[in-house]
């Protein structure tokens, strides 16, 4: 027989009905209902399962833990994820095993037992890359990289795209992975402009194929803007504009029309210009200009922690 449900509390009004047993129903018996809401009737609707708290899963607020670690200058996002997998990262005193976690300024993040510093605001720099440097953090062949040549007082930065070993000119640097991805997305559609020196004496019509777009080895290059500027001895200078950044795109395209590039200088990336910046020099973009050009909102600085000030005794 089905058991009677527990009697209602003494201060509850009896319903006057006896609950029917499960066997009185037509069809297969239904599973028993849960206890219902606290203080409600027995057998009511089951309580809604509570959402996981930030301690149990990813918080909808804040930023991904790897991004916060990168912004604090600990490591790149990829290296930060490795640190997490190795069990070297704790959030609010508890070790985490997955980077799928959002943290806010209220959370305490520790790496190897040491609290990380507060994330820096997003920043952007213009760098005049000299020829002969590799645009990578480490080179398997032992060649010098741009990070070997950057000023020592520059914080940890990432490159926006890259320039070839023998290419020079404007390279954007940032400390923010979100800005890096935004600037590298093809959908951004920002034009990159280059000063290109080629061997020989080409005519304007020689660049017609590049202006229409070409396909090399199954790879399609979008139409380029090419202007023949001037002849200088055995070489000619041209200005080339494109909206992609495929590997050695300009050099390969010029070779396809019978021209050999012997110097390539990037002079602009979207609204950012190389200008008079000398080779090896770095110049920071003003925060307001960066925000205006990228459509970013001004960052709200985290609340300052209270500082205990100790009054020094006056000298007698």
Which amino acids are annotated catalytic?
A: 164
Q: Is residue 132 a contact partner of residue 148, using CB atoms and an 8 Å limit? A: no
Question: Which two tokens mark 23?
Answer: 């066997």
Q: If you compute the radius of gyration of the chain from its CA atoms, what whole number of angstroms results?
A: 32
| C-alpha torsion 62→64→65→69, nearest 10 | -90
Longest dimension (CA), the chain: 108
Can you tell me which residue has the tokens 């459509």? Answer: 295
Q: Is residue 155 a contact partner of residue 120, using CB atoms and an 8 Å limit? A: yes
Torsion sign, CA atoms 59, 291, 171, 215:
positive
Among candidate residues 132, 129, 118, the one with its CA nearest the CA of residue 173: 129
| Interatomic CA distance for residues 169 and 308, integer angstroms | 48
| Interatomic CA distance for residues 43 and 21, integer angstroms | 13
Question: CA geometry: angle at 219 spanning 216 and 222, to 5°?
Answer: 90
- Residue 115 phi, psi (nearest 5): -70, 135
Question: Number of helices (H) and strands (E), helices first, in the chain?
Answer: 7, 17
């Amino acid at each position: 027989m089905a058991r009677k449900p527990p009697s209602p509390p003494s201060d509850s009004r009896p319903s006057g009905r006896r609950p029917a047993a499960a066997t009185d129903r037509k069809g297969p018996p239904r599973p028993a209902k849960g206890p219902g809401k606290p203080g409600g009737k027995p057998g009511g609707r089951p309580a809604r399962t509570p959402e996981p708290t930030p301690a149990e899963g990813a918080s909808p607020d804040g930023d991904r833990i790897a991004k916060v670690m990168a912004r604090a200058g600990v490591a790149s996002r990829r290296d930060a994820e490795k640190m997490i997998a190795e069990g070297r990262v704790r959030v609010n005193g508890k070790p985490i095993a997955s980077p799928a976690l959002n943290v806010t300024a209220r959370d305490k993040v520790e790496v190897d037992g040491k609290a990380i510093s507060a994330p820096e605001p997003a920043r952007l720099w213009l760098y005049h890359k000299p020829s002969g440097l590799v645009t990578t953090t480490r080179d398997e062949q032992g060649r010098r990289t741009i990070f070997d040549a950057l000023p020592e007082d520059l914080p940890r930065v990432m490159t926006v795209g890259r320039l070839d070993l023998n290419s020079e000119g404007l390279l954007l640097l940032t400390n923010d992975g979100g800005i890096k991805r935004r600037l590298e997305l093809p959908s951004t559609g920002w034009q990159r402009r280059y000063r290109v020196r080629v061997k020989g004496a080409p005519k304007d019509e020689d660049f017609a194929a590049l202006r229409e777009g070409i396909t090399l080895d199954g790879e399609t290059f979008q139409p380029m803007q090419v202007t023949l500027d001037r002849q200088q001895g055995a070489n000619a200078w041209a200005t080339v504009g494109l909206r992609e950044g495929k590997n050695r795109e300009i050099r390969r395209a010029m070779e396809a029309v019978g021209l050999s590039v012997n110097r390539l200088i990037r002079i602009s990336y979207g609204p950012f210009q190389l200008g008079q910046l000398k080779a090896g020099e770095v110049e920071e973009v003003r925060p307001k200009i960066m925000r205006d050009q990228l459509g970013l909102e001004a960052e709200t600085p985290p609340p300052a922690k209270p500082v205990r000030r100790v009054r020094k005794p006056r000298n007698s």
